Amino acid sequence: MLADATLWAWIGALGMFAGTIPSLWLWYRRPSEWEYYATLAGVTGIAALAYAVMGFGAGNVATGGGVLPVARYVDWLLTTPLLILYLALLARPSRRVIVALIAVDVVVIAGGTVAVVTTGFVSWAAFGVATLAYVGLVYGLLTVLPRSAASQPDRVRAVFGTLRNITVVLWTLYPVVWLLAPTGLGLLTASTEMLVFVYLDFVSKVGFAIVAVASADAIGYVDTVDGDRPAAVTGASAPADD
Ligand code: RET
């Protein structure tokens, strides 16, 4: 069982590493659009590291509620905000909206973490809080971000729509897998859970990055909120600049 989970982790690490190369390449070729490619490279690069840690069998912490794969939850905590940030770099909402979406996302992942390390009522309550936060996040992705994206040119709106849909559909499978896995109802084994999460992570990160890179022409059309020069030129107006 453990050997299987380790194998899947290494497959994940290799896949994520390979999936980082196109973003690094564009970062190098188009330095003026660096925030976009750095965000994408961060998503897959962090995941490659996290899977390598899991491949070495490190980072599993035994807790009262069960084993917490720290690398996985740290990965999610860092990369899900980056994926949201990429959507925001296309839709260009206000900074407040970006902060709110990322804050809600952190509640989702933190709630999931608490649910893993606790048992009984506390665990299910944490799962409930995380799920409610997730519903709020989906609302933001389906209604708030598109309102900002509406003022973007057609090409930007189309790419935003595709990436946003990939995100909403795939992310929604995570709590389902979590529920079926040993963390929830225990209908899946730990190695099947690992396999399914590697697959989901791969499509939601590398799939996202490949669609983003293949549609990178759209970046040239993005209108920033507080000015009509590209963020890479004004610097100050770019949400990624903190
Ligand atoms: C948990 C359990 C608690 C309830 C919910 C969850 C949602 C997790 C999500 C994770 C997404 C991860 C991604 C990783 C890599 O790209 C924490 C499983 C709602 C949405 C996209």
**Domain boundaries, given as residue ranges, for the chain:** 2-223
State the pLDDT at residue 227: 42
- Identify the sign of the CA torsion 177, 180, 185, 190: negative
pLDDT at 230: 47
The pLDDT score that the predictor gives to residue 219 is 97
3-state secondary structure at position 163: helix
Helix ranges (DSSP H) in 118-235: 120-139, 145-149, 154-180, 190-201, 208-214, 231-234
* The domain made up of 2-223 is a member of CATH 3.40.250.10: no
CA of 207 relative to ligand 1 center, distance in Å: 17
Best probe residue, ligand 1, of 49, 109, 124 (max atoms within 8 Å of C-beta): 109
pLDDT of residue 4: 81
Question: In whole angstroms, what is the distance from residue 84 CA to residue 25 CA?
Answer: 22
Regarding the beta carbon of 134 and ligand 1, being less than 6 Å apart is answered: yes
> Is any atom of ligand 1 closer than 6 Å to the C-beta of 216?
no
Q: Is the CB of 109 under 6 A from ligand 1?
A: yes
Q: Tell me the C-alpha distance between 198 and 191, whole Å.
A: 10
| Per-residue pLDDT of the chain in tens (242 residues, 90 and over written 9) | 456 889 999 999 999 999 999 999 999 999 999 999 999 999 999 999 999 999 999 989 999 888 899 999 999 999 999 999 999 999 999 999 999 999 999 999 999 999 999 999 999 999 999 999 999 999 999 999 999 999 999 999 999 999 999 999 999 999 999 999 998 999 999 889 989 999 999 999 999 999 999 999 999 999 985 544 444 444 444 444 43
CB of 76 closer than 6 angstroms to any ligand 1 atom = yes
Q: How many CA atoms lie within 13 A of 74 on its CB side?
A: 15
Q: Which protein residue's CA is at the shortest distance from atom 21 of ligand 1?
A: 171
Ligand 1 proximity of 37 Cβ (cutoff 6 Å):
no
Ligand 1 atom having least distance to the Cα of 111: 3
Given phi > 0 = left and psi -120 to 50 = alpha, else beta, which region is 159?
A: alpha
Burial 173-193 (b: 16+ CB within 10 A, else e): ebbebbebbbbbeeebebbbb
The predicted pLDDT at position 225 comes to 57
Q: Ligand 1: which atom is nearest the Cα of residue 172?
A: 20
Residue 120: exposure state from Cβ atoms within 10 A (0-12, 13-18, ≥19): exposed
What is the reported pLDDT for 2?
55
| Ligand 1 close to Cβ of residue 201 (< 6 A) | yes
Distance 174 CA to ligand 1 centre (A): 5
Please report the pLDDT score of residue 78 as a whole number: 98
Measured from the Cα of 171, ligand 1's closest atom is 20
Question: What is the pLDDT, as a whole number, of residue 59?
Answer: 87
Are the CB atoms for 156 and 222 separated by under 8 Å?
yes
CA-nearest residue, atom 3 of ligand 1: 112
In whole angstroms, give the CA distance from residue 108 to residue 201. 16
Look at residue 239 in the predicted model and tell me its pLDDT: 46
Packed helices 70-91 and 34-55: angle between N→C axes, nearest 10 degrees? 170
pLDDT at 238: 43
Stated pTM of the model: 0.91
